[in-house]
Amino acid sequence: MKTISHIESKQTEIAKNNGFAIETTFVLFFLAVEFGRSFSGFTLDSIFLALTLIMIAVLPYFLPANEKPGFGSWILGRSFIAVFAILLGVVFKQSLGVVLPETFRFLPMTLLIIAAMLSCYIQFYSFLKLRFVK
């Protein structure tokens, strides 16, 4: 028979094993794909998109969490994801009209919006969830 203390310790163990800022990684990925797809030189919109990409890569590190990895390994991993996604966005741009229909050009932005909405929901839920007073 499970006691309340056993259940609480199991929930604490599960909470500690949660991935650190996984949902923001999806936002970073789709934003980088959109950046790679829409980059057309150093225009004002490309500069703003690049600044947003840098902020999404760095700022989630400062969200409250139980255990955080080292900042250097955090940035290195996020940079690999961003560079891979930018290259994927460039390949996606080259394949539009040749392999994929032209209407698919909106797909990265659509997936970015969905990922951002889910990430906001998860972040607000973690900030506002009720916790028992000890």
pLDDT of residue 84: 97
In this predicted model, what pLDDT tens digit does every residue of 3-41 receive, in sequence order? 555 555 544 444 444 566 788 899 999 999 999 999 888
Q: Which residues, 6+ apart, have CB-to-CB distance to 122 below 8 Å?
A: 23
Q: Measure Cα distances from 25 to 29, 57, 78 in Å.
A: 6, 8, 8
Give the pair of three-digit tokens for residue 113: 């919006």
Q: Measure Cα distances from 127 to 37, 45, 50, 69, 119 in Å.
A: 34, 32, 28, 20, 12
Residue with tokens 């991935």: 19
pLDDT of residue 6: 53
